[in-house]
Amino acid sequence: MGIPVVNLVASGTTVSVIVPVRDEAGTLEEFLDSLLAQRTRPAEIVVADAGSRDHSTRIIRDRIGSGIVKLVESGPSYPGRARNTAIRAATQPWIAMTDAGTIVNDAWLSELTAASMTNPDADVVFGTYVPLVRTFLEGCLALAFVAPSHEVDGRRFRGPSTASMLIRRRVWEELGGFPENLRACEDLLFFNRLSGRGYRTAYASGATVAWRLPSTWRGIFRRFRTYSCNTIQAGLGSRWQRSVCMMYLAAVLCAVASVVVHWSFAFVPFAGLLARAVRSVRARRDIAAEVGAGLRVHLAVCAMLVWIDAAAFAGVFDYLRGARSVAEVPSV
């Protein structure tokens, strides 16, 4: 009698971990060490380098001696192509995904595989992520945009995300893999296809990944400018840019009303921004418990929201003028 697949999944022996990498030398050693320290050992860790110009590949090769790390080259490419390249090189029927630049807790793969055993009909298991907050700036950024968490099985859960998930390889094949022409939002399109096809999902709220945030104002602006441009390219502009445009159109109308009707209309946009910051902080109580929720934090979140909005407008202009270089298109 054959060994049931669920038992193999629980032991980790039918799981390939795949990771796309590009220019992650500053964080790659800590990330790979966290993968190699997993309580449940995967069959292999397939790292796809997407054209790194730093010494990322050297760091990966240094870990090949562990016996389970494999390096494949996808050439200069976006995350979708790198993920697809890594999955094609993987040998196992289950694929665990995470992202370079994160820190994976030592029970991450154990929690994912345990959830697949508890839910043997599941086609995909979603883990969760938490923002890695080390500075006041990162804390305010997390309060401004990191997705709010909700409760799953008595634990806080945030997702879905390619930073923490387990999927059957055949499901990836049936969905045609990840879109390869986008710097960002390729994961959202993949998840849309996943939910639209009715695949069965399970959740592992203990499979936690610590997600690094941009740590400078310049890095934040660049990140959200890229997100904005690629969101429109992916056909998802109505989710973000439309609401931002409506808010600022209302602010312009208030400015006009302050001149032709009454000066007090000038305060309406500021009151709206502060209310937006209050809602944002309240929706992320788990992060606020770490960062704080005083006046200083709320004012800083106001500034962060305006900064992200400005980056969103810059991304719209990039899209309209076809400035794909801002979206970090690699040379192929």
Domain boundaries, the chain: 5-212, 217-321
pLDDT in tens, 11-40: 556 899 999 999 999 999 999 999 999 999
Residue with tokens 């600022």: 248
Predicted pLDDT at 236: 85
**Side chain identity at residue 277, one-letter code:** A
Q: Cis before residue 160, ω within 30 degrees of 0?
A: yes
What pLDDT is attached to residue 326?
A: 40
Residues 209-246 as b or e (16 or more Cβ within 10 Å = b): bbbbbeeeeeebbbbbbbbbbbbbbbeebeebbeebee
For residues 126 and 204, the answer to whether their CB atoms sit within 8 Å is: yes
Question: Is the sign of the CA dihedral 191, 188, 175, 212 positive or negative?
Answer: negative
Cβ distance 84 to 177 under 8 Å?
A: yes
**pLDDT for res 330:** 40
Residue pair 178/187 in contact (Cβ under 8 Å)? The answer is: yes
Residues 6 or more apart in contact with residue 16 via CB below 8 angstroms: 42, 43, 44, 45, 46, 87, 90, 91, 92, 94, 95, 96
Contact partners, residue 118, CB within 8 Å, separation at least 6: 202
Which parts of the chain register pLDDT below 70?
1-13, 238, 323-332
The pLDDT, as a whole number, for residue 1 is 34
| In CATH, 5-212 is 3.90.380.10 | no
End-to-end CA distance of the chain: 50
The pTM of the full predicted model, rounded to 2 decimals, is 0.87
For residue 7, count CB atoms less than 10 angstroms from its CB and return exposed for 0-12, middle for 13-18, buried for 19 or more. exposed
